[in-house]
Chains A and B, each alone.
Chain A
Amino acid sequence: MQAFWRDTVEFLPILMSGVALTIIVTIGSLLLSTLLGLIWALMRVSGIGVVTGFSAGLINVIRGIPIIVLLFYLYFVMPEFGVTLTALQAAILGLGIAYSAYQAENFRAGIEAIDKGQIEAAQAIGMSWWQTMRRVVLPQAVKIVLPPYGNVMIMMLKDSSQASTITVAELALQGKLIASSTFKNTSVFTLVALMYLTMSIPLILLVRHFEKRAGQK
């Protein structure tokens, strides 16, 4: 135990630099996946055949490709087409795209849960499709969507570790580097696990808060 504390004091500063990147990757890809997911979801419920079909197809393609392959593609293959991204850019883009499919399905479920009467009432006062979405449907859908959205946040925090496969020196990769140079696997990976857990706990509490609020209504 004493050895563990000594290792903690020694490795924590290095691991903390990894934490910073983990947070940057998570927040960056969360924002991107939310934006893209919302676009796919709105296309999906647009009622325009071609647009709906395109969105449904795209979501399936994204869902069918492992995140790690998507990351490799962006980081190793895109340069051959003249698009060179930094590891961090590729990580945020890859995770953002990968998760946009799940966000889209979540948002769509929320939108479709809104009573049809709401949409008719909005149309009956002359609102356009976009006004109906923005003023009537989305504000009500948010409440339904938030609990699963919180779960996606937790999953993204953990899946940000996949960025390590394309050399982003986030928490998991920092851990691996320390472990392979010191052979203190137990201390290092226990520490890494505890740090992920510590970052997850506020998110878990947030999900619980969302669920309570959704339950009240």
Chain B
Amino acid sequence: MIELSNVHKSFGKVEVLKGITASVEKGEVVCIIGPSGSGKSTILRCINGLESYDSGDILVEGAKVDRNAASIVSIRTQVSMVFQRFNLFPHRTALENVIEGPVYVKKEPRAEALERGRALLARVGLAEKADVHPPQLSGGQQQRVAIARALAMQPKAILFDEPTSALDPELVGDVLSVMRKLADDGMTMVVVTHEMAFAKDVADRVLFIDGGVIVEQGPAKSVLNQPQHARTQDFLRRVLHPL
């Protein structure tokens, strides 16, 4: 459903993606791991056109992603995004955040969107926070509202950009369990993460990226338990056993 072929991207003189070729099937959960600055987030941001890419192709359900084309709106309504820093709209309540896209982009009737929005907030365990503004919520709650906001678009896939990296450690679990439920329900997910336990348990496939190239990829358990490449082994050793 998402296909990248030989994608290159530079910021100024720095080439951050050096020919990325990968695909994500419908219903698949793919985790992207790798050191900081390796280009993980840039891949996600290219898939929904938050960044442009210099060459190669990115296709979502066969449609080419071009951030300057009118078609980008339809791609963005099919592929939602959850950000590291939540990026909820602070001037709107949790429920208003959730219905913003359905009402103002997809032109859904407000009453319908409200009803669905409440159900989504209940699904992420925040039914009672519908009328609260984001600054009054904890980081974990904000991120769950952000996931509800992404789901409200009824997307075919959701991109997660380090969704738990900005959270206090004790709040990470709530967010991960919501994500695990989504995966169990068959949602197509691409997750940039440092949560190796989550990747091992939930992901179908893991891509290890370093220096703008995919160094290793395969079924989650085999990449994480028996990494073949020296750089993957080194990275996993540092992440799993930092002392």
Contact = CB atoms under 8 A, between A and B. Distances in A.
Interface in A124-146: 124-128, 131, 135-136, 139-140
A125 B87 contact: no
Interface of B: 48-50, 73-74, 76-77, 80-81, 83, 85, 87-91, 100-101, 104-106, 149, 153
A128 B73 contact: yes
Q: Interface residue tally of chain A, by bracket? A: 10 to 19
Nearest to B105: A126
A127 B90 contact: no
A131 B76 CA distance: 15
A123 B106 CA distance: 13
Given A126-B73, A126-B153, A121 B104 contact: no
A64 interface: no
A112 interface: no
A117 B87 contact: yes
B85 A140 contact: no
A120 interface: yes
Interface in A80-126: 115, 117-118, 120-126
A163 to B, nearest CB: 38
Nearest to B74: A126
B100 A135 contact: yes
A200 B89 CA distance: 36
A127 B89 CA distance: 13
B83 A125 contact: no
18 contacts: A115-B87, A117-B83, A117-B85, A118-B87, A120-B87, A121-B87, A121-B89, A122-B89, A124-B50, A124-B76, A124-B81, A125-B80, A125-B101, A125-B105, A127-B105, A131-B104, A131-B105, A135-B100
4 A-B pairs closest in CB distance:
A125-B101, A121-B87, A117-B87, A124-B81
A139 B50 contact: no
A126 to B, nearest CB: 4
B83 A139 contact: no
B47 to A, nearest CB: 11
A126 B87 contact: no
Contacts of B149: 125
Most buried by B among A121, A136, A139: A121
A131 B73 CA distance: 12
B76 A136 contact: no
B77 A126 contact: yes
Most buried by A among B48, B89, B153: B89
A57 to B, nearest CB: 26
Contacts of A126: 73-74, 76-77, 101, 105-106, 153
A56 to B, nearest CB: 23
B105 A139 contact: no
B9 to A, nearest CB: 17
B105 to A, nearest CB: 4
A127 B90 CA distance: 17
Nearest to A134: B104
B80 A124 contact: yes
Contacts of B91: 139-140
A127 B101 CA distance: 8
B229 to A, nearest CB: 33
A82 B89 CA distance: 50
A118 B134 CA distance: 13
A122 B80 CA distance: 11
Contacts of A131: 104-105
Nearest to B73: A126
A162 B195 CA distance: 66
Contact of A124 (B48, B74, B90): B48
Nearest to B89: A136
Contacts of B49: 123
